Every structure is written in C-alpha cells, then in structure tokens.
Amino acid sequence: MAEVIGVRFRDVGKIYYFDPLGISFNKNDKVIVETARGVECGEVAMANADVDERQIVRPLKTVMRKADDRDLRILAENAEKERSAYEIALHKIAAHGLDMKLVNVEYTFDNSKILFFYTAPTRVDFRELVKDLAGQFRVRIELRQIGVRDECKKLGGLSVCGRPYCCSQFLTDMQQITIKMVKEQGISLNPTKISGACGKLMCCFKFEQDAYEQLHAITPRVGAIVKTSEGKGRVIDANLLTGMLKVHVETPRDTTDIVVNRNDIKLVRDTGKEDPSEGEEVRT
C-alpha cells in the first residue's frame, strides 16, 4: 500500500495520484504539482488515502506545495490571459483562412506554454499559424485537435433532457457507446432521438446499461411461455422498467390477454429454447 492524494486539473477531469510526502491535504485544497506538461496547479479530489501498489503508475510524482495566495493570483491572471489569447487566436485563424474551429485555450501554470484546442473536419496545416502565435505570445505554442465529444465536454451546455451534459458534469472518461445498448433499452433508432449535441450516441446509454442488463436477465422475453394464475400462456409484451407482462392465455373455454407482474409468473420456456418436460420450471 502507498499513501497518495488524487488531484484533478479540470472541473470534470481524470484524477491523478501524487505522493503527498506525509503532508495531510483536504478535499478541494489547491496544490502545486509537477506534471508531464510542466508545473501545474490542481485541486485535491481525493484526500490522503492508502492505495494498492497495483493501482499506481511508478514513478509517482510528488506534491511540490500547497497553493498560497500568490499561486491563486497567478491562476486568476492566467484565466484572463486565456480569454485574451482566445480572441487573438480567432483573428489569426481567420487571417490564415484555416478550416478549423477554436474550442478552448489553456495556459500552463508557469506560463511556459499555451495550448490551443480545436476541431476540424480534416487535417489542418497550421505551421504558419503556430509561427504567428509564437511571435505574438513569445512562449511555446501547442495546437491539439480534439473530437466533437471532447468539444462538448469542454464547452458544456444543456442536453435534450434539459440537464447539463453528462460529460461536462460527472463522466470523467469517454466510454464506447454502441447501437446494441440502444436496442436493449428499447429506444427507437431515430438518430435525432438517440444522439447528443455532439452528434454521437448519448452517453447516458452507457451508464444505464448495467441496470437494463439486469432487468433483461429477470424478465421473460416476448414469445416466452410462462405459467400464470390463469394458466399457461405466451408473453406478447414486456415492460422492463415496471416488470409488467402482457400474456396471451389459452384456456379450454376461451383465450384472453392478461397483465401480470414478472414476480407472479413461472417461466416454462424462454424464446428460442426447447420446451422442457411438462411441469419443469426453468426460472422462478
């Protein structure tokens, strides 16, 4: 086990482990650390805790110090510089006639580098733009092309449900979403209904998938043969969320459709399976 703290550099970003060198930090403290990008100021997202060595990537970088008032002033000044750099970069991009959309600008804490994040439909030759920006700001310039999902995460906004984008609120990793998930959740495959503002499948399909897989496991599928209090019948409709099943029951005198809860039936034969011997029950 090793003592670490978790530090986040963006509002909804990944958490990175650092060695606190025996110093206690509280959640939301600002700390100065050395990263692959250089010296940065981050926020403690996880206070001192013991973590299994297998979860740590060695060598583990150390915390340089807790941020003081001077460091916080630098952060505020950098935020102002970023807004100014954004406007300047917009004019430079237009002047060079480049087919790219500037999304965000970030200064490193020590002002040694400026990162410009952009989206573009194709590869962009921005060599002249970099020279122009370097001459303007007199620091190292780095341009990074990002995808539309990362753009939405950085900019934020309201989704079709009326709530802020999941990616900008609590999803730290961009996970793969598939059409199979949409089908299993019984959603219409209308692109306008299943796509987020980024044009990709909505992230909420992923973090709801586990619940739907569990419901599928305990709910008979359409076409399954079940035993009810009214007799044996075939499932013709199933509501995963409420657990209510519509069953077509045949009796010696009549046929009827009844609505029952999945907890009140016994499965005799599931869809696509051979019929077990009479009276044998596959699942209760």
Q: Which has more pLDDT, 282 or 64? A: 64
- Position 280 pLDDT exceeds 80: no
Is 190 in the same domain as 245? no
Q: Which residues of 214-226 are buried (b: 16+ CB within 10 A; e: fewer)?
A: ebeeebbeeebbb
CB-based contact 113:140 (threshold 8 Å)? yes
CB-based contact 157:168 (threshold 8 Å)? yes
pLDDT of residue 243: 92
CA distance 177 to 175: 6
**pLDDT tens by residue, 84-106:** 999 999 999 999 999 999 999 99
CB-based contact 79:45 (threshold 8 Å)? no
Phi first, then psi: what are they for 97, rounded to 5°? 65, 35
> Is 111 in a helix, a strand, or coil?
coil
Is 83 in the same domain as 127? yes
**pLDDT tens by residue, 199-208:** 899 988 888 8
CB-based contact 69:84 (threshold 8 Å)? no
Q: How many domains are there within the chain?
A: 4
Is 132 in the same domain as 78? yes
Is 97 in the same domain as 44? no
- Position 81 pLDDT exceeds 90: yes
Q: Which domain holds residue 37?
A: 2-67
Residue 215 lies in a domain: no
Is 48 in the same domain as 90? no
Give the residue from 12, 44, 67 where a domain finishes.
67
pLDDT of residue 274: 42
Is 97 in the same domain as 113? yes
In sequence order, what E strands does the chain have?
2-8, 15-18, 30-35, 38-51, 63-66, 101-107, 113-119, 140-145, 225-228, 231-238, 244-250, 255-261, 266-269
Residue 118 lies in a domain: yes
Query: Residue 79: which CATH number?
Result: 3.30.300
Pairing between β-strand 63-66 and β-strand 2-8 as defined by DSSP bridges: unpaired
Is 6 in the same domain as 63? yes
Is 81 in the same domain as 138? yes
Q: What is the mean pLDDT of residues 254-276?
A: 78
**pLDDT tens by residue, 13-71:** 889 999 999 899 999 999 999 888 788 999 999 999 998 888 888 888 899 999 999 99
**pLDDT tens by residue, 112-147:** 999 999 999 999 999 999 999 999 999 999 999 999
pLDDT of residue 10: 85
> Is 121 in a helix, a strand, or coil?
coil
State pTM to two decimals.
Answer: 0.73
pLDDT of residue 106: 94
Pairing between β-strand 113-119 and β-strand 63-66 as defined by DSSP bridges: unpaired
Is 106 in the same domain as 165? no
pLDDT of residue 83: 95
- Which alpha helices (H) appear in 99-224, and where do they start and end? 127-137, 148-155, 166-169, 179-184, 191-194, 204-207, 209-218
Give the residue from 39, 67, 95 where a domain finishes.
67
Q: What average pLDDT does the structure give for the chain?
A: 88
Is 114 in the same domain as 139? yes
Is 78 in the same domain as 132? yes
CA 80 distance to own-chain centroid:
29
Q: Which of 184, 183, 167, 186 is nearest to 175 (CA)?
A: 167
Q: Which of 39, 53, 132, 56 is nearest to 94 (CA)?
A: 132
Q: Which of 185, 176, 13 is nearest to 106 (CA)?
A: 13
- Position 276 pLDDT exceeds 60: no
pLDDT of residue 188: 87
**Residue count (the chain):** 284
Q: Which has more pLDDT, 277 or 35? A: 35
Residue 212 lies in a domain: no
Q: What is the mean pLDDT of residues 206-230?
A: 90
CB-based contact 226:237 (threshold 8 Å)? no
If one counts every other C-beta atom within 10 angstroms of the C-beta of residue 8, the result is: 16
**pLDDT tens by residue, 161-186:** 888 998 888 887 777 889 999 998 88
Is 262 in the same domain as 243? yes
- Position 273 pLDDT exceeds 50: no
- Position 282 pLDDT exceeds 60: no
CA distance 18 to 35: 10
